[in-house]
Structure 1
């Protein structure tokens, strides 16, 4: 996720790609129960967004699952597939680590339950990515490469990935991120070895900008992390909101490591915007009380993937009632969240769990298709297993088709996955959420878009 250090030169190229985002099917004026959704707070700010619904969103059950025994591989390997993970367990994105690690572990378990890849079990080595304030990612990458991994799943932060992508791909190892959203990676000189299941920030920015306008906001104030992720997503949200007829009346930046945000909050509140966008990481825990303490209603707040999480343990009930958040992916099916919880019962957040699970499955299936566990060979088959064949949505069903000589089209827990030549998903969902009185997330709907 996160990071657009070269947003300006990329803008024309991305526009040329023609981003198609489905507009909201209904207006944002739906009725809701104040005690659950905070619609009265939103209305006081001049905006009204749809009530959350536990059943909202896109289904992940469109593809068939395996119903019989998995046939053995006709090709075996003397070099079993070994994966590494480079995911955050410390730093400003540490809240993303548990669901991502759980997604990886669940994928590995299911692959091995189905007999492994090329006749051998798959193994994984987990390492911390930290964040951009440390050199943990470089050290972890060196350790993973030293253990002979064929692919590294991570990092979550685009800023962190930029510090290690050349190290990984230069070693002939596949890098597969479940959460990087920077458009910069589309044209990175990665020797065809960088892939991801998360869509570009351009898509999230367009969805969020349109959503605020559809909810009735005419003016927006923004508090933004002054790094490549923050300012890049800021530009995309702003462009979409202004294209929808809105006006950005305040844009206040802060730097990584800052702990005082009163100045930025005061300036945004003084501009009296209808909506306030917080493009931050865990700094939101400090900023949200300041914003609401200055009189902003929770229903005016719009969060993004860097900070849309469960705040039930952080704030008093009602602090975020009616606030909104977005992040890539469909709403996780109940069966999938139960599977993740079976791997890690302590999970409270499921963000990018599906993308991480899908990364494992895609790598394993591409290795089967390539009949090789070498990084470059796996990368060469990733596009093949993502499109043009019979749909399937887990390793067992997909590998059964492959071993029976069929072409496959893997669609996973993160939604439909069809890769471009550059290793980007060409279509994706952005989930829109609303906070309950308990400061927990409830889904509103998932917006589908193409890049």
Structure 2
């Protein structure tokens, strides 16, 4: 199966692959350096996407990132010399779903793991089913901290590759705590505007935990119902916070950002206050003429991971040109999720999900750095110890969540299009 054709087969079981143009003559035939402990069966992975809510806007690129990674793994010789099998992708459309039926399907197929990008509540309900089946779960979008409250529900089988709400709160909170009250703003204060959701409540609590012990304050919070944005703009602006965090979907944020812009204009048509605004993962795209010119002058968006490399962009656009140059959010994490599972299975010399799970943190924090699938698999087959630095940058896990990872900050031009994207590290150690 060629790389260009792979994108059209996301909804079916994928096993075969061919090399990518420009690489060596890689194949999925057994390698002479394969581990002596061969389970005799392929690595089987399920995938779960989001067909509604905030995650739905990134469904295409996430699914594509996974399928492209599978091609690269198979081109590098596969796991135990066998192609990786992807079970038919399950896209969640019912908010009440608990994935019990799909987990049964995965167990019947002998799946070791699943890569998920669904709603936080669905994932929380599904984790006991995954855990009962001994299936490791790697999430590329989950950030809420509540799912970690019940360790018995996850049983050490849930791993997340995206900076969590705790990491985002550290980033946003530190920006607010660094303010000194310039231009009449109240120093060390954060106004929080968010969709009312599990993730929205999680980020609120994490922000409180950052600013409160450091003599800061949280203004609000100002919650709105999903798809029904509303804001007491006058009350927010009267508080003169040193930072506003707007957390929600893109269309919801159009109304919120317009309200903040219009409510802050003086008699001369110019902004009265220059309050920095931070956006979250799901509302940091381009806004264009949906907002007045220069409406985003004080706004900084946030994206998961690092700025996509030219190699990643070329790979994605070669598979689907409709993505455009800005359509790669979470695709790097999705790519790395499949690669990390392949490396963990190769390291563990087994496809048993609970054993594969134990090796996931290790392949991200081992010996020699490996930045490509081929280099990493070759090193493992040779008995080496690696730490994989993938498409989404350096990630170190502790208790299943990143304690070191990257986020990208987005700035906007006068026409409200994306002007620049820069990456920086988030470190929660110590």
Q: TM-score when scaled to structure 2?
A: 0.78
Which secondary structure state, in structure 2, belongs to the residue aligned with residue 419 of structure 1? Answer: strand
Q: Which residues of 2 match residues 7-156 of structure 1 at below 5 A?
A: 71-72=31-32, 73-74=34-35, 76-124=38-86, 125-130=88-93, 133-135=95-97, 137=99, 140-141=102-103, 143-145=105-107, 147-156=109-118
Residues 1:248 and 2:247 are matched in the alignment: no
Residues 1:430 and 2:394 are matched in the alignment: no
Match of 1:310 in 2: 286
Residues 1:290 and 2:266 are matched in the alignment: no
CA shift at 1:184, angstroms? 3.8
Q: Which residues of 2 match residues 149-298 of structure 1 at below 5 A?
A: 149-186=111-148, 188-189=151-152, 190-214=154-178, 218=187, 219-241=189-211, 246-255=216-225, 257=226, 259-262=228-231, 264-282=232-250, 283-295=252-264
Which structure is richer in relative contact order (CA contacts within 8 A, separation 6 or more)? 1
2:330 paired residue among 352, 361, 367 = 352
Tell me if the contact between 2:53 and 2:119 (Cα under 8 Å) persists in the aligned partners. no
Aligned-residue RMSD, C-alpha: 3.0
Take 1:150 and 1:354, find their aligned partners in 2: how far apart are those partners?
A: 21
CA shift at 1:290, angstroms? 2.5
CA shift at 1:114, angstroms? 1.3
CA shift at 1:122, angstroms? 1.1
Take 1:236 and 1:184, find their aligned partners in 2: how far apart are those partners?
A: 11
Match of 2:3 in 1: none
Q: 1:234 to 1:117 in 2, by over 3 A?
A: same
CA shift at 1:241, angstroms? 4.2
Tell me if the contact between 1:327 and 1:431 (Cα under 8 Å) persists in the aligned partners. yes
Which secondary structure state, in structure 2, belongs to the residue aligned with residue 406 of structure 1? Answer: coil
Segments of structure 2 that go 5 or more residues without pairing to the other structure are: 1-22, 266-270
Q: 1:199 to 1:249 in 2, by over 3 A?
A: closer
Take 2:292 and 2:319, find their aligned partners in 1: how far apart are those partners?
A: 30
Take 1:301 and 1:113, find their aligned partners in 2: how far apart are those partners?
A: 44
Q: 1:115 to 1:147 in 2, by over 3 A?
A: same
CA shift at 1:143, angstroms? 5.0
CA shift at 1:130, angstroms? 4.2
Task: Spell out, residue by residue over 1:295-327, the C-alpha distance to the aligned partner (whole angstroms, 9 max, x if none).
Answer: 365863221123223334854654434411224
1:364 paired residue among 342, 351, 355 = 342
Match of 1:325 in 2: 301
Residues 1:393 and 2:371 are matched in the alignment: yes
Q: TM-score when scaled to structure 1?
A: 0.75
Match of 1:374 in 2: 352
1:439 paired residue among 416, 420, 429 = 416
